[in-house]
Amino acid sequence: MSTLKANGLTLGYDCYGDARDEAMLLISGLGVQRLRWVSSFCEQLAARGFYVIRFDNRDTGESTHLSGAPVPEFGALAAALAAGRVAAVPYTLHDLASDAVALLDALGIPRAHLVGRSMGGMVAQLLASTHAERVLSLVSIMSSTGHPGLPATAPDVMAMLMRPPPDPCVDEVAFLAQSVAFARRIAGTGFPIDEEAYRAVLQAELVRPQGPGGMARQIAAIAATGSLRPLLARVAVPTLVVHGSDDTMIPPACGLDVADHVAGAEFLLVDGMGHDVPAALHDHLVQAITANARRKAG
């Protein structure tokens, strides 16, 4: 496990495979660390001939936590956006995309395949739209364009997401119980979570830096960035959009919206998959990601 300086931040990252192979950058989702891209998945991709890099977005894990930045007040943020005003937020998804480019620069990687999940899928879409010269292919998993009017997160899922978790330093048992309950709710009917494995990932995350307000700042970044639809016409690399039929966090129509706005994109709807990348699907997803990376553009 390593860190480096990039874009004025410290970014935590890991690499798998041979640095002489084509690079593949894995971009994490809302409020979660790079550990959610589990090592076995990274190793499978590396075995297919990719130099795999996973990293922590700002405000997570071993990357810089902007703890001195304000935590957005969501009512004021929503009012500003509804009125068409530029929302005052610490950063947007464009900044997260700039972090990813700076990481590639620091590692001496000119171009990479991109695989993003959830919020990370939106960051990957932005990179492919605005830094086309750095991107070899794009895979957006369980993500969205963020366009207004798309189906929303199920109300009970949103309530669980926004519920403040117990402080793990005070009551780790309660923290793990709430986290597992949420993961269980957003898992698909075909792929229930492996609770023992999930708890192990959570406990590994807990030994890393924890900063207050990080997830709230990332939610604000998503909201303030707005719809990515106008940018997606610029994407000219092989693109695969993967979504679960049972995703209650980001409904399948949101993934289809991504595919509909990228020329030549392929859409893979996985029956029974929720808002997760379960181990039972790793072989299938690695095969699909590899096939997309080997496709010719246009």
Q: Is 139 a member of any domain?
A: yes
Q: Say what the pLDDT of residue 87 is.
A: 73
Reported confidence tier of residue 189, pLDDT bands at 50, 70, 90: very high
Judge whether residue 297 has pLDDT over 70: no
Q: Is 221 a member of any domain?
A: yes
Q: In what order do the strands lie in the sheet with 22-27?
A: 2-6, 9-16, 50-55, 22-27, 112-117, 135-141, 239-244, 266-270
CATH of residue 26's domain is 3.40.50.1820
Unique residue bearing structure tokens 């979660």: 32
Q: Is 188 a member of any domain?
A: no
Domain hosting 72: range is 2-161+210-294
Q: Is 126 a member of any domain?
A: yes
- Residue 12 in contact with residue 34, Cβ under 8 Å? yes
Query: What is the Cα–Cα distance from 5 to 14, expressed in whole angstroms?
Result: 14
Of the candidates 232, 203, 218, which has an alpha carbon nearest to the alpha carbon of residue 30? Answer: 218
pTM of the model: 0.95
pLDDT in tens, 103-137: 999 999 999 999 999 999 999 999 999 999 999 99
**How many domains is the chain partitioned into structurally?**
1
Q: Is 289 a member of any domain?
A: yes
pLDDT in tens, 49-79: 999 999 999 999 999 999 988 887 777 776 7
Percentage of the chain modeled with pLDDT above 70: 97
Q: Is 176 a member of any domain?
A: no
Judge whether residue 81 has pLDDT over 70: no
Q: Is 73 a member of any domain?
A: yes
Q: Is 288 a member of any domain?
A: yes
